[in-house]
């Protein structure tokens, strides 16, 4: 039986690293911070609504001065609490008076548990999947005053996954923690009902008092509308995975 030489093993390792470079980066980065930083994680899903080449955005519920994509944070289920407790996940909303927010997958964990967390998350058990998107849409359409004849077809539509974004982990000198953001970008599966709903949503988005707005690619790139309304940074991901876009290791 052939025994791999040290040189052969090293070359194989180098080749594997190049092949899976994008997959390994988030995990390796997490261990860079092992002894000095916790990691703040934010796991969310967004939807790309487009009509005649323009993107439809909505007023951000938490920062009303911004417009942002429809969608929001992914939540975990109660049966996953033991798993998350074992890796010392601390919800950012743990002290919130809104009990529903304590299930948000937005919070802090030790760098050494990042791999374990991603293994659990990628198993797609004990957490929302595309149903997170439908829940967020119901909430946002209601809060934005979108008429039912527009909201209903879009809430009930099927959605296909466009891309997955993994941003970070990266550090901030001014913070005691690193940051990792996970985004699933979806688009609606087109049908006559969905097309009509998007047309009507685009029409009401031209009104000055509407909580939804139409933006073009140039405005999205500049993160500001022609009228000076700021656009949330993650909206850029609706058009591109350019900043980051690698998959983490299949842990």
> Distance between CA atoms of 133 and 244, rounded to whole angstroms?
22
pLDDT(186) > 80: yes
- Could you say which of 3.90.79.10, 3.40.190.10, 3.40.50.300, 3.20.80.10 is the CATH number of the domain covering 6-238? 3.90.79.10
The residue with greater pLDDT, 133 or 16, is 133
pLDDT of 31 > 70? The answer is: no
Tell me what the mean pLDDT of segment 179-188 comes to. 93
Mean pLDDT of 219-232: 91
Which of the residue ranges 46-50, 187-191, 215-219, 242-246 would you say has the lowest mean pLDDT?
Answer: 242-246
Average pLDDT on 207-227 reads 91
Q: Can you give the residue ranges of every domain in the chain? A: 6-238
* Model pLDDT for residues 37-63, shown as the tens digit of each residue: 789 999 999 999 999 999 999 998 777
pLDDT score for 244: 38
Top-confidence residue, 112 or 189: 189
If you average pLDDT over every residue of the chain, what do you get?
82
């Amino acid at each position: 039986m052939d025994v791999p030489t040290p040189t052969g093993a090293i070359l194989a390792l180098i080749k594997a690293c190049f092949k899976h470079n994008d997959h390994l980066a988030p995990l390796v980065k997490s261990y860079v911070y092992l002894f000095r930083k916790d990691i703040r994680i934010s796991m969310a899903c967004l939807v790309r609504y487009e009509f005649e080449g323009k993107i439809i955005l909505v007023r951000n519920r938490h920062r009303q001065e911004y417009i942002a994509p429809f969608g929001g944070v992914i939540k975990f289920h109660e049966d996953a609490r033991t798993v998350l407790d074992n890796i010392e996940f601390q919800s950012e909303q743990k002290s919130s008076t809104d009990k529903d927010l304590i299930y948000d997958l937005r919070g802090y964990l030790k760098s050494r548990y990042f791999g374990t967390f991603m293994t659990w998350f990628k198993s797609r058990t004990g957490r929302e999947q595309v149903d997170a998107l439908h829940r967020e849409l119901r909430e946002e359409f209601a809060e934005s005053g979108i008429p039912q004849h527009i909201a209903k077809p879009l809430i009930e539509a099927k959605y296909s996954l466009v891309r997955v974004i993994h941003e970070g982990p990266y550090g901030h000198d001014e913070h005691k923690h690193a940051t990792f953001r996970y985004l699933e970008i979806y688009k609606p599966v087109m049908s006559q009902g969905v097309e009509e709903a998007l047309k009507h949503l685009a029409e009401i988005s031209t009104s000055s008092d509407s909580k939804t707005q139409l933006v073009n690619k140039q405005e999205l790139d500049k993160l500001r509308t022609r009228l000076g309304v700021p656009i949330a940074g993650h909206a850029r991901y609706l058009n591109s995975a350019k900043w980051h876009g690698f998959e983490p290791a299949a842990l």
